[in-house]
Structure 1
Amino acid sequence: MKQGDLVTRKSYGGDIIFKIQEVRSQYAVLRGVELRLLADAPLLDLEMSHQLDSYHDTAMLRPKWLDRMRQQDTAAAMPQQSWTGAEQPASGGALTPLPKPKVKPVYFDMPGKVLHLDGDPNYLRKCMNLYGELRVPAEGYYVAEANMPDAVYRLLPQVRPDILVLTGHDGILKNRAGADITQLSSYKNSHNFVNAVRVARQFEKNRDALTIIAGACQSHFEALLQAGANFASSPARVLIHALDPLCVAAKVAFTPIRDTVNILDVIGLTYSGLEGLGGVESLGSYRRGVPKLPYLNSN
């Protein structure tokens, strides 16, 4: 077996498909294809998986909400017409046709801007491709989880996003007997995400001026919300899909600023559902503008 091979773990019943990231002596470092999971396993515990090739890898990572999000995007940009009725009575009582309805100027879109910090460069690349496909303006940076607080402090004043995504890898530490899952010390990276959220809230305290989506697999959900996140993982300490944070960010980006994001709707579209993601009521960050000019690029 070599780097890049797709494998499953026999000891876990082949429940998750991994890609070999690195081979070290008799062990392999594994990265989940769909789930934000890093693991290691003996080479003898691995078996090749032929369920995915490079095409199917991409296809499986295309979330089920993609087409619905595209339809929402298209509908938001459609021109509207001004009608008072098809015809109206004249002074003599006869019906006369009204002039042709006036078409209002076509809107241009201003979805919320996303700053996406990811502790996994492969997932970041997939996320950035999908942001582009959805026409969500986004800047993405690969940042190790331990460096996220410093990166947030440096990047927020430069990028000035409407939405901040902080994700990567996390998990409950298994080498600590009787670990208390209420304590941040029981998690691999939750304390780093929490510190990054706190730095962001020092920059912008208003949860509707800056929407924060934070966490990864098995993250300390309650601590992230208390630190100031709008949405976080993982209420039931489960694994989350690589694109689940992006799903929430895209929904916020295309929800009008006067409307509250429908929490159950957006989380119902994610792979992990309410076990993997939760949050508090938050306003959207989508705006419309007129007129739409041929040379205007709203993104």
Structure 2
Amino acid sequence: MSLKVGDFVTRKSYGNDLLFRILKIDENRVEIVGEEIRLIADAPLSDLTFVSDVERNTHIVEEKKRSESCYRLFRQDSRLMRNRNQYEMTGGYTNNSSYFELPGRILHIDGDPVYLKKCTDLYEKLGVPVSGAHMQEKEMPLQITSLLEMVRPDILVITGHDAYMRSKGEQNEVKAYRNTKYFAEAVREARKFEPHMDNLVIFAGACQSYFETLIRAGANFASSPDRINIHALDPVYIAAKVSLTPFMDSVSIWELLRNTLTGEKGLGGVETKGLLRRGMPVKYIDDRG
């Protein structure tokens, strides 16, 4: 059958291991993006296998099981943290809950509108305030400052699609990565706006991104130390963990990576303070919108 933009496919040369959607078709070359992983790739038409709605639904069910397991773990950790917060704020009197919490506000910039919608839905499910913006990765360094001025976030997520292209260079060469240079430039621009790493916490990167370059550029957290694929929702779990950790505490990097779908081979970072602020009494009204 004739393939078209938006169809779901797998790659024969990779054992049909990952689900992709077609982004662009140019004669016999096709640009594809991962449906659940933040990978972008080129493939010949002859290497692609069409995925029917039935097959895709089966994949979605399996992926949902995996995602739900991660979500339950995150919620479990959040409940434990909330119980501790309540104990600290009420002096151990559990019937006195007259305090409020202000989670860190997130600006999530994503190169994929489908991923952005999935991420913002999850932020809302986790109870984390977020503003989302979609743009191509190459536009991010140009737009980042104006967005930061407008939103004034506590946490910045810069992500989309990436890939290490062996034919373009070695793993320690930025030119060998499809979009790492744009992510790094955006991080550097953000650090001009706010240099302090605890005043603006930054996650940057996607599948196979050049981790070391992103950390050197000023990111608190980044992908991908082992140049592996990361899940579309991994940036959400990292940003949400920082948002919901009290600012007097440091975020445990081990706990943070434990709450992701990819783990330490795909994600890493540096010691960072939490951004949740607690206060009382509950008559306070958040006027930040």
- For the superposition of Structure 1 and Structure 2, which TM-score range results when normalised by the shorter chain? 0.7 to 0.9
Indicate the residue corresponding to 1:227 in structure 2.
217
Q: Does 1:136 align with 2:138?
A: no
Give 1:114's aligned residue.
106
Cα displacement (A) at 1:168: 0.7
Give the TM-score taking structure 1 as reference length. Answer: 0.84
> Is contact 1:253-1:285 (8 Å) kept?
yes
Partner of 1:210: 200
Asked whether the 8 Å contact 1:106–1:291 carries over to 2, the reply is yes
The residue number in structure 2 matching 1:90 is none
CA distance in 1, matches of 2:272, 2:147: 23
More helix by share: 2
2:57 to 53, 56, 67: 53
Q: Deviations over 1:28-86 (max 9, x none)?
A: 43221111112232333222334432963872683533123334445555655656xxx
- Separation in 1, partners of 2:286, 2:230: 37
Aligned pairs, how many? 280
- Aligned position for 1:38: 40
2:165 corresponding residue in structure 1:
173
Unaligned runs of 5+ in 1: 84-100
Separation (CA, whole Å) in 1 of partners of 2:12 and 2:67: 27
* Counterpart residue type for residue 71 of structure 2: L
Larger radius of gyration: 1
Three-state SS of the structure 2 residue aligned to 1:41 is strand
Match of 2:10 in 1: 8
Contact 2:167 2:176 in 1 (8 A): no
Partner deviation per Cα, 1:113-144 (whole Å, 9 max, x = no partner): 00111111110110011111111000010021
- Check whether the contact 1:238–1:276 (CA below 8 A) recurs between aligned residues: yes
Deviation at 1:152, TM superposition (A): 1.3
Q: Name the CA shift for 1:106/1:174 in 2 (closer, same or farther; >3 Å).
A: same
1:263 to 2:253 alignment: yes
**Aligned-partner residue type, residue 152 of structure 1:** I
Matching residue of 1:18: 20
3-state DSSP class of the match of 2:178? coil
The reply on whether 1:70 has 2:60 as its aligned counterpart is: no
Partner of 1:243: 233
Unaligned residue ranges in structure 2 (runs of 5+): none
Matched ranges for 1:270-281 at <5 A = 270-281=260-271
Inter-partner Cα distance in structure 2 for 1:27 and 1:191: 24
SS at match of 1:64: helix
**Percentage identity across paired residues of the two chains:** 44
The SS at the match of 2:206 is coil
Structure 2: distance between partners of 1:23 and 1:2: 7
Tell me how far apart the structure 2 counterparts of residues 146 and 48 of structure 1 sit (CA, whole Å): 30
TM-score by length of 2: 0.87
Runs ≥4 in structure 1, deviation > 6 angstroms? 294-299
Q: Distance in 2 between matches of 1:24 and 1:175?
A: 20
- In the superposition, relative to structure 1, how do residues 146 and 82 fare at CA in structure 2: closer, same or farther (>3 Å)? closer
Task: Indicate conservation of the 8 Å contact 1:21/1:31, yes or no.
Answer: yes
State which of 172, 181, 184 in structure 2 corresponds to 1:182.
172
> Which secondary structure state, in structure 2, belongs to the residue aligned with residue 164 of structure 1?
strand
